[in-house]
Amino acid sequence: MTKKHLFLLFAALSAALMLAVSCGEPEQKEPDTLSVSLTELSFTAEDASTKLLSIKSNTSWVVSASADWIILDKTSGSGNAPLAVKVSTNDGDDREGTISVKGAQAVTVKVTQSGGKVSYLTPVPVAFDGKKRAGTIYQLLVYSFADSNGDGIGDFNGITSKLDYLDDMGVSALWLSPIHPAMSYHGYDVKDYYSVNPEYGTEEDFKNLLSKAKAKGIDIYLDYVLNHAGKDHPWFQSAKASESSPYRDYFVFSTNPAADISAGRLAMFPKNGYDSGQWFSCVSGSASSMKVKFTLTLDAAGKPKTLKIEQVDEISNSGTPTSGIWLYYGDGKMSQFYTTGGSVCTLSIDISSSWGVLIRTSQTQWDSYKYGAPSSNHQLEWGKELTLSNTDASDILLPGMDILMYHSHFWTDWFADFNYGPASTSETSPAFIDLAASADKWINMGVGGLRLDAVKHIYWDENSNENPTFLDKWYQRCNATYKAAGNTGNIYMVGEVFSEASKTFNYYKGLPSVFEFSFWWGVKDALNNRSAGSFVNNLISWRSSYTAKRADAVPAIKLTNHDENRAASDLGKSEAKEKQAAAILLTAEGRPVFYQGEELGYWGVKDGGDEYVRTPMKWTKSGAVASGRLGGKVDNSMLTASISVEAQNEAANSLMNVYKTFSKVRNTYPALASGKMSSANISGSTILSWYMTSSDGQKVLVVHNVASSAKTVDVPGDISKPIAVLGSAAVKGGQVILEANSSVVFLQ
């Protein structure tokens, strides 16, 4: 091979080798990618915000929305880029759409928007099964509730005739004002605990009421006055007349209260608790068929000066009757003195007097025509002259009579307080034993409970353990009678402690229920101030304090009663507030109490007399009312046809029908009837809200707007099942709108 041939061969091989080295393996291309930062976007009905999606890709992409309400800032792009998304306002129902991003892959993003459509809530409670679960109590005044015989005075048969109305109100018990004979129309100054006031009917009438009420699932509770009797009660009349009276120890007596209390001789009082303003004088002893001679001396002006008494065997008067001087010894009885013309007048008489005597110089006038004992000396002593007073003319006590003092907590001589001795042994006191025996009669007859009047005043120190100790003994005693009569469960007993809630905690040591006056005061403040304040937190806290004292404690919740200004007056006669007060009452924890006429919107204040807050029921548009025991103290301008039961039955949206509606819902749902309150923590300065949960786990959410305008609130939990609505409530975009003074209850 020539050199030329070798050179050409070498060049070819070199070229081939270089070609092989320069090409190597084939180059690999990176794959196309696409991802989106979120898979779901959520908007509210009026959401004006812009939400960003982050698109990451190494190639181009296109984007589209499934609906025109989804607004995109671009429809295509390449590489990495943000995508801005907005939505238009939604005035309709909830809606849903998608955003599609297509490139190397296809990605779908879900878009949802809540609806802005306002859906007004219509309550759909389950059908009421007829079982009254709430234990609601109706307080009625026997004398002014219903008159069956046309004498103008309410009576037992009148109540019986209205049992259908009370059953329709959903009540489980009637608390009757005192039914016993008494000194006053209201009945709190009892004269006989063992009988009924004949103005109200007979015992047979009362038994008939018990029977007919029981047939409708309604108990009868009596108002029992354990603190005091009326001063005309035969027990007190006997007790004050003689130390040997079997009733002497029934009452608190003293001739020197300050000394007796200081020495610890009066067990109902702490040693440092003397209050002279609560003691009233009475006369012990009496003069009966006592033959005596009174000798009266006159001063230079011929006016009575001194009086002397002597016993005689025979009645003999000589001389001529005086021109104008009489001995007065009670009940309109007067005898004229005799004179022989000098400064001495005499009178022989067979006298009978329970309180003593006075000298009078007029048969018709008192004031300056009355002569009596000076305050320093009330007593006539045999054969001794007593100097008379014309300016400080007190009753003149006859020999054998004494001035006693008896106690009353209520700043009146109309009541006489019972004496139970030391609280620790009160059940052994004669007063306790007798009063318990009287209660036995009514419990054995079928009475299912007692409302105890003024229990913080039984023992003088209302903040000590004495009253709770006494009340526990009374409750246990009555409960034993109740069970022995064949009843299941326990007797109902509720005490009146007219104080703020914090001062009632201790009373649950003695009773299972105490009236919660602070409940109404809190409702009133919330409605009038248009502010939720601390109302809900207070209620929850108080209930915890009650059960700390007694596991089965249940407060009696109420608006007003017979001793307070009417709720309508305190709420400025605002029907919207009155309706919401009823709704709050019937959705809170406790045992509700309705007061006669409150469901009709009765107003009234105590300024002119308590009668004005004890107005008779107006049953028909034109019929009479039971006003005969109220002494004309009735506001007839209120008792028009429109406020009557008849008229309010016809008006679907009346106050009375609000009571009926919420009462039925409370009776239907155990959570409302007997549930426990817990905070719902819904924000809003005018929103009252809480949960009620029953022992079997049923739960409801309660929301009240006490504002004067509509409020929109975010409500937790399920709002798809409203069971009660007051006023106007609606759902918009998942939120609840409550108009002024509107309320809603949701089943959870």
- Two tokens at 342? 């000098």
Query: Could you identify the residue written with the tokens 């006003």?
Result: 627
Residues 364, 370, 372, 376, Cα dihedral to 10°: 140
Q: Cα–Cα distance between 728 and 567 in angstroms, integer?
A: 23
Helix (H, G, I), strand (E, B) or coil at 9: helix
- Two tokens at 387? 């100097």
Nearest alpha-carbon partner for 225 in 508, 451, 562, 470: 451
Helix (H, G, I), strand (E, B) or coil at 318: coil
Helix axes 430-445, 466-484, angle to 10 degrees: 40
**Which residues neighbour 167 within 8 Å (Cβ) at sequence distance 6 or greater?**
216, 217, 218
CB neighbour class for 601 (10 Å; exposed up to 12, middle 13-18, buried from 19): buried
In whole angstroms, how far apart are CA 468 and each of 420, 427, 652? Answer: 13, 13, 45
Active site residue 453: yes
Nearest alpha-carbon partner for 617 in 632, 592, 599: 599
Q: Cα–Cα distance between 681 and 486 in angstroms, integer?
A: 46
Query: What are the phi and psi torsion angles at 302 (to 5°)?
Result: 85, 15
Beta bridge partners of 328: 334, 358
Strands 556-558 and 279-284: unpaired
Strands (E) located in 392-468: 402-407, 415-417, 449-452
Active site residue 496: yes
Q: Which amino acid would we find at residue 395?
A: D
Cα angle vertex 730, ends 589, 689, to 5°?
25
Q: Cα–Cα distance between 694 and 650 in angstroms, integer?
A: 35
- Which residue among the candidates 147, 395, 453, 472 is catalytic per the annotation? 453
Decide: 114 and 87 in contact? Cβ < 8 Å: no
- Two tokens at 127? 């059908």
Q: Cα–Cα distance between 182 and 152 in angstroms, integer?
A: 18
Q: Cα–Cα distance between 742 and 728 in angstroms, integer?
A: 6
Q: Which amino acid would we find at residue 156?
A: F
Query: Could you identify the residue written with the tokens 């029981």?
Result: 214
Nearest alpha-carbon partner for 496 in 560, 451, 552, 432: 451
Strand order in the sheet with 70-72: 34-36, 51-57, 81-87, 70-72
Cα angle vertex 219, ends 216, 221, to 5°?
150
- Two tokens at 78? 């390449």
Q: Which amino acid would we find at residue 444?
A: N
Element (H, E) at 672: helix 670-674
- Two tokens at 497? 């402690």
- Which residue among the candidates 496, 516, 564, 570 is catalytic per the annotation? 496
Decide: 451 and 471 in contact? Cβ < 8 Å: no
**Which residues neighbour 461 within 8 Å (Cβ) at sequence distance 6 or greater?**
269, 270, 273
Nearest alpha-carbon partner for 452 in 494, 398, 415, 417: 494
Query: What are the phi and psi torsion angles at 541 (to 5°)?
Result: -65, -45
Q: Cα–Cα distance between 487 and 479 in angstroms, integer?
A: 10
Active centre residues (catalytic)? 453, 496
